[in-house]
Amino acid sequence: LSADEEHIKSEYSNITITEFVLLGFSDIPQLRWILFGIFLLMYLTILICNSVIMLITRTDETLKTPMYFFLSNFSFVEICYVTVTIPRMLMDLCTQKGTISLVSCAAQLCFVIMLGGMEFLLLTVMAYDRYVAICSPLHYAVIMNHRVCMQLVAGCWISIIPVVTGQTYQIFSLPFCGSNKVNHFFCDVPPLLSLACGDTFVNNLAIYVASIVFIMVPFVLIIVSYGKIICNILKLSSAGGRSKAFSTCSSHLIVVILFYGTAIITYAQPKANQPEGMGKLLSLFYTILIPLLNPIIYTLRNKDIMVALKKLQSKIYWESLEELG
């Protein structure tokens, strides 16, 4: 902290904060209804697209495979992830208040980190699934049986929950005695730590360790998996076989690049080097834009899902006709 920041915090040292104020987009009040309409439309699109993916992967017999089981879980996490942040942001745009209690802020932070971490872990599990499918196709059904798939998903939840709960408790154990204005549209770690009066060295260290464990380690595993996948694909003699294998992995690879690209830019770059408002802008990417793109990428680039969607559409159409006639 600079000398000025230290002086300001010392002046407020006797003030105990009981609630925060999320500033969100209060600096552009003239655009609040336009932003409300855009974010509401994006939120509804995310809910509908991911719900459709969950529906068809559970009802269509051809999609009852490990790859689509993990995709269904990923869609569920996406729905939960955006629901933690966007409805609150929409409410703040309407009321222009932005006040949030410490307990609500802690709960939001906990779920944001937990669900975000789950997405990274599920992307790693999905990469492993593609690795087994392409590199060991004869043993795929045995290795990736339903029990193993359930254990992998359960393992992701079990590993992330205690770490995130501990981190949230650690952050909110700090004294917040200065300004209560959070320059963000949801409770995130960097803006909250900037308001803490105590020593945040341990908290920052814990964040970097958690980032390495839940972001960088999975990223390395995904890179290794895709390295082996690409080597095996290139060994295929059939051009059609290579094209089909690349097509199977391309959607997942695009999503991985989007997720990790934004995460690395957001959390790896020192905050002092980021322009004012850059953190908020990047947050819009990984909390709204990427969850919006994910189901579109998975549906448009996947023939099996497109076929299942047409079958579902046809089924709904004929059922509607039967009810009318």
**For the chain, domain boundaries:** 15-324
- Domain 15-324, architecture per CATH: Up-down Bundle (1.20)
SS3 content of the chain, % helix, strand, coil (to 5): 80, 5, 20
Angle (CA) 312-246-260 rounded to 5° is 90
Ranges under pLDDT 50 in the chain:
1, 8, 12, 14
Percent of the chain with pLDDT over 90: 46
Question: Which pair of structure tokens corresponds to residue 46?
Answer: 């995310």
Residue 235, pLDDT score? 83
Residue 7, pLDDT score? 52
Pairing between β-strand 99-101 and β-strand 19-22 as defined by DSSP bridges: antiparallel
Residue 275, pLDDT score? 58
Residue 257, pLDDT score? 86
Residue 309, pLDDT score? 85
Residue 179, pLDDT score? 84
Residue 220 host element (H or E) = helix 217-235
Residue 303, pLDDT score? 80
d(CA 227, CA 306): 28
Residue 93, pLDDT score? 94
pTM, 2 dp: 0.88
d(CA 278, CA 286): 13
Give the number of residues written for the chain: 325
CB proximity list for 270: less than 8 A, separation 6 or greater: none
